Amino acid sequence: MMDNTVQMTDSIPPVAMIFAAGRGRRMQPLSDVVPKPALPVPGGPVVSWALRLVARCGVPNAVLNSWWLAQTMEESAAEALPPELNLRFSREEHLMETAGGLALARDRGLLGTDGPVLIVNGDGILNLDLKDLFRRHHESEDLVTLGLLPHLGPELWSRVVLDRCGLVSAILPPGTPAAGEVPLLYPGVMVIAREALDTLQTTPSGVAPALWTPARAQARLGGVLVSGHWREVGRTPDYLEAVMALLGDRNDVHASARVAPSAVLNQTLIGPDVTIDQEAVINQGIISHGAVIGAGARIIRSVVLGDVRVEAGRTMTDEIRT
């Protein structure tokens, strides 16, 4: 496992903000039942990757914002909480978006009063080494420092370009890189200075217009390459593919699930409060959050999520049931 322990303790932010409040419309209908960061993956919910990242980096405190299905989101994060991390919640009455959520957490006194803040998107699979991100922010005049990866797919996601000083010279839409361009990928991790945090208005707004644009106008939007792995979990096919990749050839069964001894599981994730009846066969499936699979049912490359039942003897192939 990657060693993400940072030796420069004075550069480690005292607090992190994990974004987990969004509606997750691209993940519908799954996100109608479970918030996207709370969707199960091997080892815990999606947000567990952000929580573990923050803890491994030595950041002692974290704040997670919630809005859509807030209670479910908060319970999921609490269950996945590393013991060394102190977590508090900032529940929003109305969706404040990313920068607005930051401002609201600040106003509530949840982000402290000193030092930078680590920002992590809560809806991706990520395992990153952030030492260079912390070092760059600590040693520079950046208002915002982006953690960046070599680009995995310039035609799929926006491209960030740095100049020789490590300042962001361009943020470009998805497309073919120009000759000589070195496209970088923003995986949803950055550090912001207290000076930048204090300028935010407590109104719904995104980080790009509220933080990145002003910082870049002052030549204080920086970036640095970090090492590690990131995988998007944006749409249902992405989610299923990510779970299968994490499973490999094994199964992952939640402790609260009830699986009949005669049931057959192959490369399958079984989440909390699930019942799998006798002689059911599940091949490359995700079954979670109270779903019931009837006796003799066959589930193939499908997701069954929530308080639903698949009838005995039913065959599902490449389907979603919520």
Q: Is residue 272 part of a domain?
A: yes
For residue 3, pLDDT beyond 70? no
Q: Which residues pair with 97 in a beta bridge?
A: none
- Does residue 302 sit in the same domain as residue 166? no
pLDDT digits (tens, 9 = 90+) for 139-166: 999 999 999 999 989 999 999 999 999 9
Report how far apart, in Å, the C-alpha atoms of 70 and of each of 36, 40, 66, 76, 82 are: 11, 16, 5, 10, 20
Which H or E element spans position 15? strand 15-19
Assess contact for 240 and 287: CB atoms under 8 A: no
Lowest mean pLDDT among 142-146, 234-238, 254-258, 314-318: 234-238
- Does residue 167 sit in the same domain as residue 294? no
- Does residue 207 sit in the same domain as residue 283? no
Buried/exposed 169-198: b ≥16 CB within 10 Å, e otherwise: eebeeeeeeeeeeebbbbbbbbbbbbebbe
Q: Is residue 3 part of a domain?
A: no
For residue 9, pLDDT beyond 90? no
- Does residue 224 sit in the same domain as residue 121? yes
Q: Is residue 2 part of a domain?
A: no
- Does residue 128 sit in the same domain as residue 256? no
Q: Is residue 4 part of a domain?
A: no
Q: Is residue 75 part of a domain?
A: yes
d(CA 133, CA 190) in angstroms, rounded, equals 8
Backbone angles phi, psi at 168, to 5 degrees: -75, 120
Q: Is residue 245 part of a domain?
A: no
Q: What is the pTM of this model?
A: 0.94
Residue carrying structure tokens 């009830």: 258
For residue 207, pLDDT beyond 70? yes
pLDDT band at 223 (very low <50, low <70, confident <90, very high): very high
- Does residue 182 sit in the same domain as residue 310? no
Which H or E element spans position 237? helix 236-247
pLDDT above 90 covers a percentage of the chain that reads 95
- Does residue 179 sit in the same domain as residue 316? no
CATH number at residue 138: 3.90.550.10
pLDDT band at 1 (very low <50, low <70, confident <90, very high): very low
Q: For residue 261, how many other CB atoms are within 10 A of its CB?
A: 6
Last-in-domain residue among 232, 264, 282 = 232
State the total domains in the chain. Answer: 2
d(CA 271, CA 256) in angstroms, rounded, equals 8
- Does residue 264 sit in the same domain as residue 139? no
Q: Is residue 313 part of a domain?
A: yes
Cβ contacts of 321 within 8 Å, gap of 6 or more: 291, 302, 303, 304, 305, 308, 310
- Does residue 227 sit in the same domain as residue 255? no
Assess contact for 303 and 284: CB atoms under 8 A: no
pLDDT averaged over every residue in the chain: 96
- Does residue 228 sit in the same domain as residue 258? no
- Does residue 92 sit in the same domain as residue 214? yes
Assess contact for 256 and 262: CB atoms under 8 A: no
- Does residue 42 sit in the same domain as residue 110? yes
For residue 180, pLDDT beyond 50? yes
State which residues form the domain around 24.
9-232
